[in-house]
Amino acid sequence: MANLIIDSGNTAIKMFVFDGGKIVKNMRCNQISEMLPALEKNKVLNNITKCIISSVSYDQNLMAKILLPYFKVIPYSKSLTLPIINKYKTPETLGSDRIAAVVGAAHKYPKRNVLVIDSGTAITYDIVTDRGEYLGGNISMGLNTRFKALHNFTERLPLLQCDKSENSLFGTNTTEAMTIGIQNGMLYEIETTIEKFRSKFDSLLVIFTGGDSIFFEDKIKNCNFAEPYLVAFGLNEILECNA
């Protein structure tokens, strides 16, 4: 029987059905009321035996209440058992997406030093060692957040969006200058961060995940893999560990 993984972020509710450790179905909703219809439409509701919910946008207990008549539901909490050693000094402030991403990395690449770069609303850098120890990481503004911030905190600069085709070194008008400045600035940040971590951790693997992972995968020379669903894999491992 299958597991249901629900990862509700700032933009959407993402649902993944796992069977035998593999994703067999993934769905996307915009509201809680769409969850059950999506499961029914995809004919997976009766195959699920247990579920884990990680949400930063909706009440996890409310989401669980809707699903509990159908299968066992575990809302993510800091008290859950983890399959890695968490050495973060303030685990109560640690986001479930960050810990799930490093759990997924440790599961997929055991006994390796792995730097997980998760790029979405925020961009996070998290390190898990070859001993299965999560040490911590960094948090910075994501790509679209930088565009919004530059617009919101200035009087005359427009609100722009990412242009994946732009590869110039500098701009010749304000639109280009903003786009290139933000995108290249973030690329330089990522490349420098990777270099610093590589100097400290031997044979470091660099894994990209999150909504902007594809954008950076072919632009960062030091990237090893892009794993768009790394958080879902990590949540599935946490669910199995607490089932």
List the catalytic residues. 97
Contact 88, 134 (CB under 8 A): yes
Contact 127, 105 (CB under 8 A): no
Contact 178, 150 (CB under 8 A): yes
Give, in degrees to the nearest 5, the angle at Cα 194 between 147 and 140.
35
Kindly list the distances between the CA atom of residue 121 and the CA atoms of 9, 100, 150, in Å, as whole numbers in the listed order.
9, 17, 15
Phi, psi of 136 (to 5 degrees): 140, -160
Kindly list the distances between the CA atom of residue 169 and the CA atoms of 123, 124, 175, 216, in Å, as whole numbers in the listed order.
23, 25, 14, 16
The span from the CA of 98 to the CA of 232, in Å, is: 11
Torsion sign, CA atoms 181, 187, 192, 197: positive
Phi, psi of 42 (to 5 degrees): -90, 5
Strands of 147-229 (E only): list them.
205-209, 225-226
Kindly list the distances between the CA atom of residue 114 and the CA atoms of 126, 183, 202, 217, in Å, as whole numbers in the listed order.
8, 24, 10, 16
